[in-house]
Amino acid sequence: MSPNMPLRIVLGSGSKYRQQLLREMGYDFEVISPSVGEQSIRRADPEALALALAHAKADAVVASLQSPALVITADQVVVHQGQIREKPGSADEARQYLRSCGDAPSETVSAVVVTDSASGRRVAGVDVVRIYLRPLPDELIEDRIADGEIFYCAGALRLEDPLIAPYIERIEGEMDSVMGLPKALTARLMAEVC
């Protein structure tokens, strides 16, 4: 834990990518993977949806705590041609997402919520990144579906994958945000709560 953080830190996420990013930020933390019925939380606006999901995760983690902690939760959706894309639910859905990602830019909408469980103080924010990809070949799409990692990623976008990286034309924003935990936003929110 950083000397500026008076409480233990709990990351409310089972995502190995979010855990990796928080470790890269230099924090020691515990992990509690919240149980939230994500499909029951619906919003038409992508930012509102990502925030609602991150808040629901925060509520679940805070309710499970036995002692005070600084709780960090996050969620992400992808928007492509005005449609919200969450984690693909099937190979067919993943295939459709990946085949269309070169048609137009996609946006990752990442929400972060930081809660001081002792005081109840909570702050939240959203970071949006725009991604331009070249069309992916069918063989690569099938290979990524067989690999299975894309099923843990909103919109089936796993840009840190070295096989996908050559198809990235440009990213307007930071890769850590694309991976699900925007570091600058997270650090700012942590500082606001403490």
Give the tens place of pLDDT for each residue, 134-168.
999 999 999 999 999 999 998 999 999 999 999 99
Which of the two residues, 1 and 132, has the higher pLDDT score? 132
In DSSP terms, 9 is beta-bridged to: 70
The CATH architecture assigned to 9-193 reads Alpha-Beta Complex (3.90)
Identify the pLDDT of residue 106.
97
Identify the pLDDT of residue 42.
79
Domain layout of the chain by residue ranges: 9-193
* CB distance 154 to 76 below 8 Å: yes
Distance CA 39, CA 34 (A): 14
Q: Which residue has the tokens 């990235």?
A: 168
Residue 4 in this model has a pLDDT that exceeds 60: no
* Long-range contact pairs involving 26-33 (C-beta distance under 8 Å, separation at least 24): 26/2, 27/1, 27/2, 28/1, 29/1, 29/72, 30/69, 32/61, 32/64, 32/65
Our answer to whether residue 116 is catalytic in this structure is: no
Q: Which helix (H) or strand (E) holds 186?
A: helix 183-193
In DSSP terms, 113 is beta-bridged to: 73, 124
Q: Up-side HSE of residue 170: CA atoms within 13 Å toward CB?
A: 1
Of 55, 20, 21, which Cα lies nearest the Cα of 38?
55
pTM of the entire predicted model: 0.90
Catalytic residue among 59, 75, 116, 127: 75
